[in-house]
Structures are given as structure tokens and as C-alpha cells.
Structure 1
């Protein structure tokens, strides 16, 4: 076989070697009580392979407790976690990348040495761990801080080190609790690119965040938790379809009269402009007819609801 032929074979087979056997993560009726307090109450959803799933909810909603049960840090009071359609095992979880809410770093140890050590604990060889760590330090802008002690880093840079600990190697799934907290815009973009590279290889990714605009921008699916229960779940478009219809109305005259139209809620009125919600069938048409009777209508357009609006509606 010729050298050129060998090269061609290597080139063709390399992408296949990077493919990972991946599966969905299924949470079925997970419940966790602490004494009389039910922190997580019958939570069920799926983290689909190859997708970013955003997990949102207010403080105390139960997100961290749910993720800890997924990872086996806490035992559920009831319910189960499935991986590939079967009950998840400790061995399965060893191949997951997990970033907990609390940083688990040694403050007086150097960044590179610490991450290589953590990689070895996850089963990587010394050379593979060093290679993976070095690559991620460069990707997240920490290459020049590799020998610094963690305690010498800013909180944002400590967050990057914790992220690398979760991402190195080839995790079969990623479970990340507030991974974007404290990151500057450049680091957020780098982190988003890294997560997309993992989902491109079929890895399911679940991450929690209070940054709703970021979740809306990145995620294919969303799960909204309130008081320990799932109150909404689906794609952004599916959630928008359940949202109250809003329109922007711009008139030639004052728009204050819209407050008196039956079936319409005036969210905001400012001079010639009104943001309204149509809460009864046919009310939008009646509003437009009245506006045309009163004068010129410069704009009457539907407004795409933001995740923040949807979140307020489902958690109210």
C-alpha cells in the first residue's frame, strides 16, 4: 500500500474515531425531601443526546438538588435516572463531566498540576490528561496562568478552571451547575463554542443558569422549575406558542384609549405607542378596527416573547 494511500485512509477514518456512543438522560418522577420540606417534587424530563438543555428557575427552585440526584451525589426519595433507557450506574456517571455549584478546587495547588491530577482520577493517562488540560487552558485564555496557584486567580478565572475539570477527556454527558457565572463576555463565547463542540458529537448537555438571555441564545430545549416542580418544558418555539400574545401598536394620536378595550390588557402605554396583550379571542381585530376608526395606524405587529416573559408567566 502506498504512502499516499495510507494517508488517505487515516484522513477518512479520523472523524469516525471521534464519534462517541451517547444516550439520552431521562429523569423520571424524581423527588427529594429533607424532613418535612419537599425540595424536588415529581420532576420528569429528558436531556436529549446532542442537545443543549437549559435548566432555569429561581433560588430555591430545586435545580441543584435535581442535578445532584442525577449525578448520584444525593439519593432520591423517589423516582429514578435512566441512561440509554436503563437505570444509570456509578460507572456511567464516572464518564460524565460534572461541575457542581460549589468549586471543588485546591486553592494552594497549581492550575496545571491540579487539573492533570483530576484528569488522572477520571482514568486518563498522564500524557492524555496533560494534553487535554493544555488545550483547554489555551481555549479559555488561561495558558499563561497554568503554574499559578488557584487562590491567586480571580473568581472568573477560578470558574474557568472548574469548567476545564468537567470538560477534559471525552465526557459522555455534561451536567453543569451555573457554568457561566462570573465569566466575562469573551469567556462566555469560548465556553459556548466548547459546549457546541460536545453536542456536535452527540453529547447531552444540561446546564443551569440565571442568565435567561444566554439560555435563550444557546439552548435547543428548556426546562423551567418552580418550587420543586417542572412548570414548563420544551423548545423555545414550543414555549413561545403557549405565551400570551403581545402586539405593538403605533398610532398617529394618543394611545391611552386602548386601556378601555375589552379583551385587551395594556402592558405599557407611552404616547402614540402601546404594548398590548390579547387575552380574549377576536379582541385584537376589534382593537385594530377601533384604531383605524380613530385615525392612522403606523404599526400593529406581533412581538416575539422573550424567555424572560415566558419565565415570569409560568412561575407567577
Structure 2
């Protein structure tokens, strides 16, 4: 387990990280979300040792991180850092070799990974000749080729089309399934919500919420209900104790001032006939994010 405890970082008078603490467990995909300037990249760079903190600790399995530990990590920065004139396969093999892999093992790993990432037919193309999305896939391959013991990715889905997003999601899920802790940041909250086991939300350099999706929904989710019926649901507006939030034909989202008011609305919907569904609205990560950073 990777754990940050009470980590602080200042840039002059500005407090960039304010006692940041969270954990990334073995085999867990942890999404790290926050607005621009919230502190995500600074936190990741401290984990990787690119920056030093002004206070607090970063440990793995309870032991302070060393340079040797970090050499076994995989890291993908938000800024692309591959050599543009090198061929894709040559580049990925070279990076595996830097991590101590044999020429044969590095080539085998690189070819397998590039195939899984959808770059199997582009191995002899130069990095600069690739589209931005394919350059992003190559950057992900560079972070994974040495089979890291922990993976840290800064905006891995940036610039990817929906098919590429699905491909990368599958690869990252496979990596986590081997027991590797995976931490990644993203502004694409729908992807984070779909992929992650755990979520960490940072705002203004402080962790404002963390936990599983269901934990965060239980703590911050709105108590709204959704009704779908074959007929017009406009009658809900006159129902005592009910406040309609959204409405379109037979579909409505509403809040109830009490359990009794909600049960009365359900009974009325059943009595009118044509009821298709009546359930608590699933609060999205985007809604939770807005709630906790407001």
C-alpha cells in the first residue's frame, strides 16, 4: 500500500498542499480528481520524488520511499516526454532496458503491450508521425513496459477517442488485477466513476473527500428519487411534500420532505397505472464533486 500522511508543500507564500493524506491499496484503481491548480500534479511528483515535500511522509507498506523503490514505479506525466524521432517499438524497448530488462524480455513486453494498446501496426512508425491519441497510448506503454510495482498516471485519457478510452481502461484494469496499486488523475469524471475502486478529491491543496464511490454517495449524495411512467407525470407537482427537480413527460426527478411523502407519491403512481420504475437517483461523481468543492 502507498500512503501519504500530512504532506505539505509551499511555493513561496502559497501553500500548494495542505496536510494531504490518502492511501492507494494493492490492486486498487484510485482516481485522483480536482480542478486545475488543485494540487494533483504536485502530489504525484512528490510521490515520484521529482519534488520534495516540506512536511509529512510518503510510505509504501509503512516504510519511507527510497530511490530504489521509485525505480520500480511507473509514471506517465501529463506532458508527453517521448523522443519524437524514435520508432515506437524502439522507444518502448529502450525504456524497458533502462529498467534492467534483457533485450529479449524488453522486446517481448513491448510488443505485447503495444498490441494490447492498439499500436501493433504502428511499431515501426516514429513517435512524431502518430496522432496525438496514439502518442498518448505510446506514453502509457512507456509507463507500463517494465511491469512496475506501482503505477502513477497524470491525465492518461487526455486526447483519447471513446474506443481508445475503452482500450486503455481494459489495460489498466488488467494491471490492477495483478495486485499493482494504480493512481491516476483525470478531468473526465465519467471515466473515473466507471473505472475506479476508490476516489480522492482534492481542492485548494486539501483532500476534501475520499473513499469508494458508494461511500461518497452515501455521505454526499442527494436524496432524490426518479419516477418513470407511461403517462404524464405532471401530477407530481401537486403531490403534498414533493418538490419536482426535473420533469419530461412520464419521467421526473423529485425530492420528498419525508418518507411518508415519498411513499404516498409511490402509492399515487401505482394507482394511476403505467408505472415503469421508481427508485433513488444514482448520484454521479460530477454531482458529488460539485458538492464537496463548492
When the two structures are superposed, what TM-score results if normalisation uses the length of structure 1? 0.83
Q: Does 1:171 align with 2:148?
A: yes
Range with bigger deviation, 299-308 or 47-56: 299-308
Distance 2:189 2:15 in 1: 26
Q: Does 1:214 align with 2:191?
A: yes
Return 5+ residue gaps in structure 1 as ranges: 1-23
User: Which of these residues, 251, 255, 259, is aligned with residue 234 of structure 2?
Assistant: 255
State the match for 2:204 in structure 1: 227
Distance 2:245 2:264 in 1: 20
Deviations 1:116-139 (A, max 9, x none): 221121221222211111111111
Q: Does 1:149 align with 2:126?
A: yes
Larger Rg over CA atoms: 1
Q: 1:226 to 1:265 in 2, by over 3 A?
A: farther
Distance 1:186 1:76 in 2: 38
Q: 1:32 to 1:265 in 2, by over 3 A?
A: farther
Return 5+ residue gaps in structure 2 as ranges: none
State the match for 1:19 in structure 2: none
Q: 1:259 to 1:115 in 2, by over 3 A?
A: farther
Q: 1:291 to 1:132 in 2, by over 3 A?
A: closer
State the match for 2:282 in structure 1: 304
Q: How many residues were matched structurally?
A: 289
Distance 1:171 1:270 in 2: 50
Distance 1:261 1:64 in 2: 49
Contact 2:6 2:55 in 1 (8 A): yes
Which aligned pairs between 1:75-94 and structure 2 lie closer than 5 A? 75-94=52-71
Distance 1:261 1:204 in 2: 50
Deviations 1:256-295 (A, max 9, x none): 7748966x654223456431234x5xx2422553786798
Contact 2:27 2:179 in 1 (8 A): yes
Deviations 1:208-228 (A, max 9, x none): 111111111111111111111
Contact 1:259 1:265 in 2 (8 A): no
Q: Does 1:58 align with 2:35?
A: yes
Range with bigger deviation, 283-292 or 123-132: 283-292
User: Which of these residues, 129, 154, 157, is aligned with residue 180 of structure 1?
Assistant: 157
Q: Please give the root-mean-square deviation of Cα atoms over the aligned residues, in Å.
A: 2.3
Which aligned pairs between 1:128-143 and structure 2 lie closer than 5 A? 128-143=105-120
When the two structures are superposed, what TM-score results if normalisation uses the length of structure 2? 0.89
State the match for 1:45 in structure 2: 22
Q: 1:162 to 1:253 in 2, by over 3 A?
A: closer
Contact 1:216 1:307 in 2 (8 A): yes
